[in-house]
Structure 1
Amino acid sequence: MQRPRFELPEALVMEILSKLPVKSLTRFNCVCKRYDGKTFHTYFSQLSTEKDQNYIVKQNIHLPLFKNDVPCVYGASHGLLCLHDSSTDKAAIWNPSTREFKILPPSSVQRPSYLPCIKGYRTLNDVSFHHIAFGFDSKTDDYKVIRFVTLTFDISEEGEIYRDFEFPDVLQVELYSLRSDSWKEIPFPNYKPTYIILGNNYIDGISYWQTITGEYDGFREIILSFDLRNEKFSILSIPEFVGYSPKYYISLLVFNGSLSVIFYLSKETYTSLDLWVTNDGVWTKQFSIKSIPPFVHPLGFGENGKLLLISSKKEIFLVDPSTQELKELEIMTYQDHFLLSISLHAYVESLRNI
């Protein structure tokens, strides 16, 4: 005898599913597409504080992407990661929880193939992409990717082609909308980001980059920001005493949901760090860390305000500012990877569709 079939209301089904762990739901996903062994790979080390354990590596995710290109992670938002290969225009948004993967379309922004000049004309030699950021626009319920584009030209004169550094590169800014699934060009700001270190300096719909202003001995560090909601650039100053000097290093990080600046001096025997946090443009010194290993770079903050650092040897350290306690983490960073391609992002499991 056939049992009667009961159908639950969709609202009740969604409520039940929402209470299940993502892993329980994704057990029924199957990926059958395979890649050959000649592809480059991106690796992810997942850190966890579950069961009151301190930053345990749960797994290393080995992900072949983009065939012969090498993408890096340029941001995380609501469980989605943005991947991009800076040497090409290839970009993607990926949900590791559901394994859903969306390749972004090529840009439709016009790029001149040549430009006239006094010596003849300049031909387009190279297009590179950098200072990529990814975030969520709550105003339009849309995910957006912003990237800076550099067009490099060569001089073509009497059959010869050569580089003339008197001619500046042509700069563009492109913005991608997931909702429209398209790119558009936006006006280039008066400043351009100056550092290529990866990170996810995105807070509440605003992305941040380091830049400088002034000339010669009047250089000064400032912060360039971009609001994804109104699609406008702005400038923010940093703590007054921090100037521009080759002796010091500055990194932008997110600390407890606020924009922060780490100001550090690295010597052969030790490194000292000072953290400043801004609230409505007012900077307050949060803490100092003394005598940690030399030649380290801040990666970002984990739970409880603990700072993760990476050394020139690609060792990962965790330091507690309140106790000054330093601990090396057992994380494989893959020695063949370029140091600046290693980044830290806050990630949460998500069932969001792309």
Structure 2
Amino acid sequence: MENCRLSTDLVVDILSRLRVKSLMRFKCVCKFFYNLITNDLRFMDTHYEFHKAKTDCVLLETGLAVRENYLLYKESSEYNEIGCIYLDIPTTPRAMWVKCCKGMLCLISTRNDIAKLDNVDYLIYDIWICNPSIRKVKALPSVTVPYRLPYNAYVHNEFGFGISNDMTWKVVMLLEICSFDVSTNDQQITLVYSQVGGDSWSLRQINAVTSCRDIGGQFNDFYLSGLDMGLNNDFYLKGRYYWLANRFHDEPYTQCLIWFDMNDEVFGRIELRSDIIIPSISIMNDTIALISSVGDSSSFDIWLMMGDDNNTYWHKQASIDCVVDINESWIPMGIWNLDGELLVYLFKRVEDDWDWDSDSEYVERGVPPYFISVNLVTQERKMFSVSKERKSITMASHPTAGDFQVYNERNIDITEEWERNNFRGEALYARVYEERLHFL
């Protein structure tokens, strides 16, 4: 910095406008850059707020029983390409859940076979916090559920991940332990796992408020998914974690949002419109956005939540008409930037590109995913293809030992990788992802 002709303030301002990937390279330039990028909390906050307002990135989950996770980001508006980072989360013998909050990912895995808990005394969960932007992962102390399991049982799981106003990270765990013996009552347990400073975390049990089986999409059913890993609509927003709940046993069928406040550690409920079908929930203008299908799904309406907890109403923000042929379906993924653009997955059915596999499932041959970004105001549409080469963040594969490390990115040939992916409409969900330099 001694020979730099620019003022320090100007250099800091320039650096704050760069992507995290570039900053990871520049921290090796000099000690000033290194300390600014890795230790200066004020610079980290400035960088996060600047890029939060310009985000064009989502965390995409695919698949039903086996989930895969990707970061999709607008790589080139000029050439209509979406970059793809595949999160090569290690294959574990059990289920893996991934939650997202302010650029941090929470990875949760169970050591037990939750579909059949024979001869298991206690449930044990392994949890990691990951920031893929800066390639850092930390294993948290494992969680042992303080409840002795009945014989021949199974469990439903739902999780939330967020941060309170005092910058305390928290994981909320909603568990429902069920016995195959109908004479045994189900046991609902809600746990809050929170950071208490440094590497120390505390576990507390609080009152349960709802059945986990009400939370999630229509595929969130034990007998359908086998591992209770069905499609969910859940997200973090302004100190609360939200889950979409479907009350199938109600007459008529209703939907609502269950929320957990990270500050007060209490639950609440927001009733949703009963006259619309809601395939997806997103965030727009710092509030909740419902994306509802209309008629035969040839159009979508965007509804924004207005008011507060005591007086909530829904304002129709926009309507999007889909012009599709019989071999195409539009799957709304959510609002993915502050310009008000709806990200849509274009599901193409091409007879020559389909085959019947050994598991009696249709699979697509070598066709990369296509997405459409729709401006809610102008109705302008841009079709994006996933770039032919994608990057992978690969992690070590010893989670139960806590040895969980992020390695370098690498390029992969995408054609073969897409051949048997679960890029199907009912198996997709996207959350907005925001790059950040912070870590625990």
Whether the TM-score (by the shorter chain) exceeds 0.5 is yes
Query: How far is the alpha carbon of 1:94 from its aligned partner?
Result: 0.5
Residue pairs, 1:57-96, within 5 angstroms: 57-65=82-90, 67-69=92-94, 71-77=96-102, 79-85=103-109, 89-96=125-132
User: In the alignment, what sits opposite 1:337?
Assistant: 422
Residue pairs, 1:284-323, within 5 angstroms: 284-293=315-324, 295-303=329-337, 304-311=339-346, 315-323=370-378
8 Å CA contact retained: 2:344, 2:371: yes
User: In the alignment, what sits opposite 1:253?
Assistant: 282
2:168 paired with 1:151:
no
Distance of aligned partners of 1:112 and 1:265 in 2 relative to their CA distance in 1, 3 Å threshold: farther
2:265 paired with 1:239:
no
> Any idea what SS the aligned residue of 1:144 has?
strand
Within the candidate set 228, 234, 245, 1:211 is matched to: 245
2:434 paired with 1:348:
yes
Distance of aligned partners of 1:167 and 1:343 in 2 relative to their CA distance in 1, 3 Å threshold: same
Distance of aligned partners of 1:210 and 1:199 in 2 relative to their CA distance in 1, 3 Å threshold: closer
8 Å CA contact retained: 2:80, 2:385: no
Greater helix content: 2
8 Å CA contact retained: 1:124, 1:151: no
Between the aligned partners of 1:328 and 1:46, the Cα distance in structure 2 is 14
Query: How far is the alpha carbon of 1:137 from its aligned partner?
Result: 0.8
The letter for the 1-side match of 2:163 is F
Between the aligned partners of 1:300 and 1:202, the Cα distance in structure 2 is 14
Within the candidate set 168, 190, 195, 1:173 is matched to: 190
- How many residue pairs get aligned? The number is 305
The letter for the 1-side match of 2:288 is L
The letter for the 1-side match of 2:187 is V
1:266-312, Cα deviation, whole Å (9 max, x unpaired): 63xx5321111112212111111123546543221122111112355
1:88-142, Cα deviation, whole Å (9 max, x unpaired): 633321111221102233223312322xxxxxxxx24223423x2222211x211
2:71 paired with 1:45:
yes
8 Å CA contact retained: 1:128, 1:149: yes
Within the candidate set 106, 109, 133, 2:145 is matched to: 109
The letter for the 2-side match of 1:256 is N
Distance of aligned partners of 1:83 and 1:310 in 2 relative to their CA distance in 1, 3 Å threshold: farther
8 Å CA contact retained: 1:264, 1:274: yes
User: In the alignment, what sits opposite 2:168?
Assistant: 142
> Any idea what SS the aligned residue of 2:433 has?
coil
1:25-55, Cα deviation, whole Å (9 max, x unpaired): 42379xxxxxxxxxx99552331367x6586
> Any idea what SS the aligned residue of 2:257 has?
strand
The letter for the 1-side match of 2:215 is P
* TM-score, normalisation: structure 1: 0.72
Query: How far is the alpha carbon of 1:251 from its aligned partner?
Result: 2.5
Please list every run of 5 or more consecutive structure 2 residues that lacks an aligned counterpart in the other structure: 3-7, 29-65, 115-124, 221-230, 349-368, 387-413
Distance of aligned partners of 1:70 and 1:234 in 2 relative to their CA distance in 1, 3 Å threshold: closer
Between the aligned partners of 1:198 and 1:55, the Cα distance in structure 2 is 29
Between the aligned partners of 1:284 and 1:193, the Cα distance in structure 2 is 24
2:264 paired with 1:230:
yes
Between the aligned partners of 1:194 and 1:136, the Cα distance in structure 2 is 22
Residue pairs, 1:178-197, within 5 angstroms: 178-179=195-196, 180-190=200-210, 192-195=214-217, 196=220, 197=231
Identity %: 21
Give RMSD over aligned pairs. 3.6
User: In the alignment, what sits opposite 1:274?
Assistant: 301
> Any idea what SS the aligned residue of 1:93 has?
strand
The letter for the 1-side match of 2:266 is K
Distance of aligned partners of 1:55 and 1:91 in 2 relative to their CA distance in 1, 3 Å threshold: farther
With a CA cutoff of 8 Å and minimum separation of 6, indicate the structure with the bigger relative contact order: 2
Distance of aligned partners of 1:64 and 1:208 in 2 relative to their CA distance in 1, 3 Å threshold: closer
8 Å CA contact retained: 2:126, 2:143: no
8 Å CA contact retained: 2:157, 2:173: yes
> Any idea what SS the aligned residue of 1:23 has?
helix
8 Å CA contact retained: 1:226, 1:232: yes
8 Å CA contact retained: 2:73, 2:82: yes
